[in-house]
Amino acid sequence: MLSVDYLTESEKSKVYSALEFSSAAHKGQVRKSGEDYISHPIAVAEILTTWKLDSKALCAALLHDVVEDTHISVENISSEFGKNIGKIVDGLSKLDKIKFDTKSQEQSENFRKMFLAMSRDVRVILIKLADRLHNMRTIQFVKDKDKIIRKAKETMEIYAPLADRMGMNRIRDELEDLS
């Protein structure tokens, strides 16, 4: 499961509560790979554990698609897990609404700046990078070739340079390789 040995017992409990909540919310949903949908938030959280992110980031990672894919609102998340986690999830939801149509390096730079400006909490960007990393690791299950090309281009123009700017060279390299 999640390698959260570096967290306190109460932090671990909160993370496992978020896992149970997300699992229940995504019940019956499946990924294009055929796996239960919850496998994606777990994989994103697992990436974050390798970076030793805090329990709030792990909770937000586990909950990051709940607002987009279910009837549960940010207010529900805030009520259940606290305003801080709710704000992180809300920031991720807002970033997910941005539609990229990258046509130039300048436009890509503007998107990266917008990402950073919209994120009042660096954990939003870190979760978004982990989310993209896992999606790129599993992109072979997407059947639409145009979507694959679009996601790979976004990754090369937005996410890999963002990882580079944050000093995450290994992540940048993997994103570039997967693209």
36 forms bridges with which residues in the sheet? 30
Under 8 Å CB-to-CB from 27, ≥6 apart: which residues? none
d(CA 164, CA 169): 6
Which residues are part of the catalytic machinery?
68-69
Buried b (16+ CB within 10 A) or exposed e, 11-49: bbebbbebbebbeebbeeeeeeeeeebbbbbbbbbbbbb
